[in-house]
Chains A and B, each alone.
Chain A
């Protein structure tokens, strides 16, 4: 009897501790997710009372006859690949330089980190100002043709601008991860390599880089999850322009849902994004696991 009441009170306490988080997560994710699946099978403009059930028509439309979506997907893939490579290469190079004995080390680290604490929407606006107004003045005072180009007005250049501003904002984040990774490499290992007569490049490729592998895995993972969802910076920097060439998948979903009021169609696209992210993450996690086992 006593045992049973103890069991009961333990169960009660378990519920008391875990129910709040379950409610919160359900409200934020599970209920909306179920509704997303439901709406994705309907045609709905948000105004009419009852969404009209149309089965998988939305998905057929997305994969067969939606030029916006394929353009946005292509943009996102290109952006993600270049972002992941560039931000990590730049961050590793900077980290290796900053890890040496410099007097101004903490100033330099802080300087590169500062943009990361700013909101991406704001960063987009600041750079819009620089590209539109600042470059004109810089062009006038230097005479360089570089500044005279239309960095937000030509499709190819606008892509570069979006990529560049994203890297500018976040490189400090990857930098501090790599600095932490470098600091965990034992000094005697580096010294031993110096003794063996390895030059700086040899040392970097045969000692530093392999030992940075855990940091690289984390950073690539973060860069991938962030870049596949890119939205804020494009919204304020280019607004999708010029000519709709800088729409990302996330922005395309936003456009269809909130600007074109295609609620059903927009949620179907949103679901496609979810599945894409899920597949990529699962692949990454398996690679992750395998690496951990090996090392």
Chain B
């Protein structure tokens, strides 16, 4: 384009201002988490008089932040590990086997993508409590295996098709078979799609709300971060300074990870959308 440079600089400045305005709510959240109750009530947009961490000390202890963080971590890692394991081996086998049974199983695996979670939420609760998966972080993590599998199987299945069968065959001649063949030869070749699945599933499980609400809301010791922030705000409806502190604590891990892994996250999200 041959527009004049001054106009372009002005245009770019306007864009940056729009972007900052777009993020202004997050800025307001942060500054108000440092204020006292009186300060929030008198003026939301003013900067805090002093940057005091008193709210943080209070909320950190009250919601037992380290515990929540650990719970979120356990649920996310356990869920993710299971999704990747069960989906990758199944997708590999299903993609390599040409039979009616294989086609039917593949259909059964990806069909649930059409079922909205709200359509089955009550009976998921019933099933989980029958299997003793309720009220436990581990149980919640295990449940994600099934919820994450359809998309993961779909993505892996498409990718395995592109890996030549000769690779399997030469590995078989070398004496590898079954799980050994899969984990030492095939799985490393799936690295790029595995990264995509990790990114979309971490974002989903880490932030998920409704399933944790139904599964682990019974006790403070099993809550996840988003869930605890939700109940906390419910109790402190007018104490916005505490509510905003809880919000900051809840979103901070995601924002820090995003700042460092921005490129991969954006790439993974795009790849996931295009393939899914």
Which residues of A come within 8 Å of B, CB atoms? Answer: 13-14, 16-18, 20-22, 24-33, 35-36, 39, 97, 100-104, 106-122, 125-127, 129-130, 133-134, 136-138, 140-141, 168, 173, 176-177, 180, 218, 222, 228-229, 231-232, 236, 250, 253-254, 257-258, 263, 266-267, 270-271, 273-274, 277-278, 281
Cβ of A180 and Cβ of B119 under 8 Å apart? no
Complex contacts, A134 vs chain B, CB 8 Å: 25, 28, 44-45
* In the complex, B222 has a CB within 8 A of chain A: no
* In the complex, B189 has a CB within 8 A of chain A: no
Which residues of B come within 8 Å of A, CB atoms? Answer: 1, 12, 15-16, 19-20, 22-23, 25-26, 28-29, 32, 40-41, 43-46, 82, 85-87, 89-90, 92-94, 97, 101-102, 105, 108-109, 112, 114-124, 126-128, 131, 143, 145-147, 149-150, 153, 178, 182, 203, 207-210, 226, 229-230, 233, 240, 243-244, 247, 250-251, 254-255, 258, 262, 265-266, 269-270, 273-274
Cβ of B16 and Cβ of A107 under 8 Å apart? yes
Cβ of A277 and Cβ of B114 under 8 Å apart? yes
7 A/B residue pairs, CB under 8 Å, sorted by A: A14-B102, A28-B145, A108-B16, A111-B23, A114-B258, A129-B29, A270-B121
Measured CB to CB, the nearest residue on chain A to B153 is: A21
Complex contacts, A229 vs chain B, CB 8 Å: 116-118
Complex contacts, A274 vs chain B, CB 8 Å: 115-116, 119
> How far, in Å, is B261 (CB) from chain A's closest CB?
10
Cβ of B266 and Cβ of A176 under 8 Å apart? yes
Label chain A's interface by main secondary structure.
helix
Cβ of B25 and Cβ of A126 under 8 Å apart? yes
Cβ of B28 and Cβ of A21 under 8 Å apart? no
Cβ of B97 and Cβ of A14 under 8 Å apart? yes
Measured CB to CB, the nearest residue on chain B to A281 is: B114
Cβ of B258 and Cβ of A125 under 8 Å apart? no
If the complex has contacts A22-B108, A218-B273, are A267 and B122 also in contact, measured as CB distance less than 8 A? yes
> How far, in Å, is B252 (CB) from chain A's closest CB?
10
Measured CB to CB, the nearest residue on chain A to B12 is: A102
Cβ of A270 and Cβ of B124 under 8 Å apart? no
Cβ of B44 and Cβ of A136 under 8 Å apart? yes
Cβ of A122 and Cβ of B247 under 8 Å apart? yes
